[in-house]
Structure 1
Amino acid sequence: MATQWILFEMFQVLHEVPFYHVLLEGGLLVWILWLIFHKSYNPKELQQLTEKEKEQLIEEWTPEPLVGNVPQNHPSLKPHIVSGKAGKYMNVNGHQCLNMATHNYLGFVGNKDIEESAVKTVQKYGVGSCGPRGFYGTVDVHLDLEDKLAEFMKMEEAVVYSYGFCTIASAIPAYSKRGDVIFVDEDVNFAIQKGLDASRSKIRFFKHNDMADLERLLLEQAELDRRNPKKAQVTRRFLIVEGIYMNSGDICPLPELVELRKKYKLRIFIDENVSFGTLGDHGRGVTEYYNVPNDEVDVISCSMEWAMATIGGFCVGSSFVIEHQRLSGLGYSFSASLPPLLATAAIKALDIMQTDPSMFMKLQMCCQHVHRALSSLTLLTLKGHPDSPVKHLYLRDPPNCTDHELCLLNKIVDFCIEHGVAVVTAAYLPVEKFTRRNSIRVTVNNMLTEDEINNVAAVLEKACENLH
C-alpha cells in the first residue's frame, strides 16, 4: 500500500507540473549522465610512436635559451664594484671616489653610535627573528621602534615592514580593491606601480605634478558617479603621490593636493622614501616642509633604507587605519620580521635626528649649492627641485637613439669614477608603466663641502667635453 501511495503521489505531481518543465529537467539529467560517463578520447585510439620516431623527435627538439641574446656591451655585464663602506667616500672599481651616488643623505653609514647599538643587539638577540610579526617574530625592539616612529612623525600609530620596497607595495592593496579608483602621478616609482597592480583597482594616471590634469580626471569621475549613484556609494577613491619623486627629483605640491582631496573626497597616500629625513626643519618630510597638518594625510609610507641607513620601511597614520595593515598588509603578515639589529639601528638613527636637527638645515644648504653648481653645466641639463637631495642630469643635445644616449651617459659616469667622483645612471625596468628618458642621477649628503661640490661640477663638465 505504501508503494502504491508513493507512485500515486508522483503521478499527481507530474500531472500538475507543466510538460516543458519535465522535458527540460529530463534533458538536463541525461546531459549530466553523459558528461559523467563519456570519455573525451579513447587512449587506445591515440597513435603510438615507435622508438625510432621518439628518438628522432628528441634529436630535432631544440630548447629555448633561459636568457635571450644580450649585447656584449650591455651595462649590466660590467657592474661597478664597490669595496668597503659606501660613506662620504667609497672605493669604486679600485678608484677612491666622493660618493654622489648612494642615498646616504644624513651620513649615517659608518656612524659609530649606530654600529655599536647594532653590535649589542646581535649579542642579545642574534641576527634574525626567523618568523613573521604575527608568528613569534615580534621582538620588543620592534614595538619600541614603532612607538618612536609614531612619536617622531606626530601620528597615532606606526607599522614596521622588513623591506622598504614592499612597504608601499603592500599598503596600497591593503586598502584599495577591485572596483575602487586610484588617481596617481605618472612619475611614481616602481614599488608604487607594483602596489597598483596588486590592488586590481581602476588606475587613472595624471601628468606629473599637473594639478589641472588631475582635476580633469576627478571631474570625469564625478560625472560617472552622478550617472551611477548606486555604484558611487561603494566606490572608494584614492590619491597616491611621492613626497620627492625618485624619478625626477621634484617635490609634490601637497597644499594643492590636499585641497583637491577635500573637494572630491579622496583618501591620500604619500610615499616619502626620499623626503623623509631630508625635508622640513626636523626631517619629518613633505608635510612639515609645507606646514600641512598630518591629519590631512591618510597614510605616509617611508623607507628606512635611505636617510636612516638601515633596512625596512614603515607606515604611519591614525590607529584604525594602520592597524588594518597588520592583517591585510601581505608584506607585513607573511614576511619574516625586521632583524632586531636593524630595528635598533633605526632607533639610534631617530635619536640622532631628534638630538641634532641642524643636520637637516645643513643638508638643505648642500642641496641648494649642488643645484646651483650643476645648473652651470654647458652640455647637461639639470632637473629636480633645489631642495631635493636627488638630481637628474640629461644630455642637452641627445641623440635620436635611446641606447646611444645611455651609452654616452655611461661613458660620462666612467670618466667621473676614474677622476674621483661616483655618480650613476638612473636604471629603469622595461616593465614599468612609462618610458623614461635616460639620465645621470646625483644624490646629495650633508657632509659635502663647498670645494667638493665645485669639484663635482668641474669633473662632470670635463667628462662632457672629453666625450665630445
Structure 2
Amino acid sequence: MAKQEATSVKGFEYLQAELDQMKQEGTFRNLVPIESEQGSKVQINGKEVIQLSSNNYLGLTGHPRLREAALRAVEQYGAGTGSVRTIAGTFSMHKELEEKLAKFKHTEASLVFQSGFTTNQGVLSSILTKEDVVISDELNHASIIDGIRLTKAGRKVYKHVDTEDLERALKETQDYRKRIIVTDGVFSMDGNIAPLPRIVELAEQYDALVMVDDAHASGVLGKNGRGTVNHFGLDGRVHIQVGTLSKAIGVLGGYVASTRTLIDYLIHKGRPFLFSTSHPPAVTMACDAAIDVLLEEPELIDKLWDNTKFFKQGLADLGFTTGPSETPITPVLVGDAALCHQFSDKLLEHGVFAQGIAFPTVAKGKARVRTIVTAQHSKKELQEALDMFEKAGRELNII
C-alpha cells in the first residue's frame, strides 16, 4: 500500500500569511502551559519561577476553604448541573450565592453569568435599543466594547478618564430615551482607577445611568474588597455593578449586582444567561466560600496592598516607567512590541513569569510587561523578582 501523504485543508492561507507576518515581526506568541497549582511560584518547563502574571490577587485559587467547598459540592451534587438556569439548572446553591453577592455589594439583587466577558455582553445587549445611547471610556475592556457592538444603541466614546469630555458627550446626547455611562472601575492594562465620584455627579446632573465593571477591583478595593463603588462611598448611587468571580475571587464566572428589576429582566432577556448551562457545583460553592473569606480574612487584602507598595517602589527605584497605576496592576512600559516580548522571555529565563502584552490588547507603541503582585508573595520573592527585572532590563538596555 502506498504511503498516504498528509494533506491540509485549503482556504486559510490568508490567516497563515498574517501569522507568518507576526512571526517575522517577533509578535507571535505560543501559549505557556503551567505545570503546577497557581501560586506565588509556578512550574513552567520543569522549572519553578516567580509568578507575576496571574489575576490571583488574594491567593484564593488554592485557599483551603475554597478547596473544601468545591470537594463537598462534587460529592453532594456531582460534576455538572445538566441544564441552563431557566429550565432545570438553577440549584439552591446558585440562589444562595447570588443572595450573598447582593448583600456583599449592597444591592437589591445579583445574577451570576458564565464569565465576566459574557456578563458585560449580556447586560448591554439586553437593556439597550436604538432609542438609547452608550457613553464609554475609550480604554474600556474588550467585553464592554463587544457588548456595545451587540446593541443597536447609539454610541459615544469619551477620552480616557476625561470627565470634561464625558460631559461633552452627555450634552450631545440629550435627545435619547436613556443614556448609560460605562466604565471600568480599575483599568486592566494600566492599573489606574476611574474617577467615579465625578462620573456619578455628571450622571445625576444629566439623568444618565452608570455601569461599572469592577473585574479588577472586586476583592481589591473597598471594604472587604467590595469594589470601586464602595471604595468611593457611592453605594446606592451606581445603577449597575459588574464583576468577575475569576480574579481575586479565585474561581470562575461573572456577576451583575443591581436592582431587582434589572436582575429579573436579565433572567428573561440576557442571552448568555438564557443559553448557557449553569455553573457546576464545585465552581458555585467555591465562589460562595470565597465571599466568606473576603468577609472574614481582610488581612489578605492588607497584605496585597503592602506587597503592591513594595514592588512599585522597587520598580521606580530601578528606573522603570510604570505609568498611572494606582493598584496591584503595575505595567512596565517598553513601547516596542518585539522588544517587550524579548524582555518577557528574558525574565522567564531568569526565573520570573511576567507576560508581555502588545497590540491589539494595547495600542501600538505601548507594549508593556504587565505585572500583578498578590497577597501570596513574600517580600523575599518580590525582591528576587526585582533583581531579575534589573538584570533583564539592563541586558536589553531598557534601563
| TM-score scaled by length of structure 2 | 0.91
- Secondary structure of 1:439 counterpart: strand
Counterpart position of 1:310: 251
Change (3 A) 1:435 1:183: farther
Quote the Cα distance in structure 2 between the aligned partners of 1:212 and 1:306.
Answer: 32
Kept in 2: contact 1:189–1:247 (CA 8 A): no
2:190 pairs, out of 233, 243, 248, with 248
Is 1:188 the counterpart of 2:140? The answer is yes
1:13-32 superposed Cα distances (whole Å, 9 cap, x missing partner): xxxxxxxxxxxxxxxxxxxx
Structure 1: state its 5+ residue gaps. 1-61, 226-231, 399-404
How many residues were matched structurally?
384
Query: In the TM superposition, what are the counterparts of 1:301-450 in structure 2 within 5 Å?
Result: 301-378=242-319, 380-386=320-326, 388-395=327-334, 398=335, 405-426=336-357, 428-429=359-360, 437-450=366-379
Counterpart position of 1:276: 218
Counterpart position of 1:239: 181
Kept in 2: contact 1:389–1:443 (CA 8 A): yes
Aligned amino acid, residue 346 of structure 2: F
Quote the Cα distance in structure 2 between the aligned partners of 1:108 and 1:209.
Answer: 31
Offset of residue 266 of structure 1:
0.5
Quote the Cα distance in structure 2 between the aligned partners of 1:255 and 1:194.
Answer: 26
Quote the Cα distance in structure 2 between the aligned partners of 1:174 and 1:63.
Answer: 36
Quote the Cα distance in structure 2 between the aligned partners of 1:75 and 1:207.
Answer: 28
Offset of residue 77 of structure 1:
5.0
Counterpart position of 1:57: none
Offset of residue 381 of structure 1:
1.1
Query: In the TM superposition, what are the counterparts of 1:46-61 in structure 2 within 5 Å?
Result: none
Aligned amino acid, residue 375 of structure 2: N
Query: In the TM superposition, what are the counterparts of 1:115-134 in structure 2 within 5 Å?
Result: 115-134=67-86
Kept in 1: contact 2:358–2:364 (CA 8 A): no
Q: Give the number of the structure whose residues are more often helix, by fraction.
A: 1
2:36 pairs, out of 71, 80, 84, with 84
| TM-score scaled by length of structure 1 | 0.78
Kept in 2: contact 1:281–1:360 (CA 8 A): no
Kept in 1: contact 2:358–2:366 (CA 8 A): no
Offset of residue 103 of structure 1:
0.4
Query: In the TM superposition, what are the counterparts of 1:280-299 in structure 2 within 5 Å?
Result: 280-292=222-234, 294-299=235-240
Quote the Cα distance in structure 1 between the aligned partners of 2:188 and 2:111.
Answer: 23
Counterpart position of 1:179: 131
1:144-194 superposed Cα distances (whole Å, 9 cap, x missing partner): 101111111121101011222101111111111223111110001111111
Quote the Cα distance in structure 2 between the aligned partners of 1:375 and 1:131.
Answer: 51
Counterpart position of 1:203: 155
2:16 pairs, out of 34, 45, 68, with 68
Change (3 A) 1:216 1:97: same
Of the two, which has the highest radius of gyration? 1
The CA RMSD measured in Å over matched residues stands at: 1.9
Is 1:220 the counterpart of 2:175? The answer is no
Counterpart position of 2:389: 460
Quote the Cα distance in structure 2 between the aligned partners of 1:200 and 1:375.
Answer: 45
Quote the Cα distance in structure 1 between the aligned partners of 2:358 and 2:283.
Answer: 27
Quote the Cα distance in structure 2 between the aligned partners of 1:85 and 1:184.
Answer: 37
Kept in 2: contact 1:95–1:418 (CA 8 A): no
Change (3 A) 1:419 1:63: closer
Offset of residue 369 of structure 1:
1.9
Offset of residue 76 of structure 1:
4.2
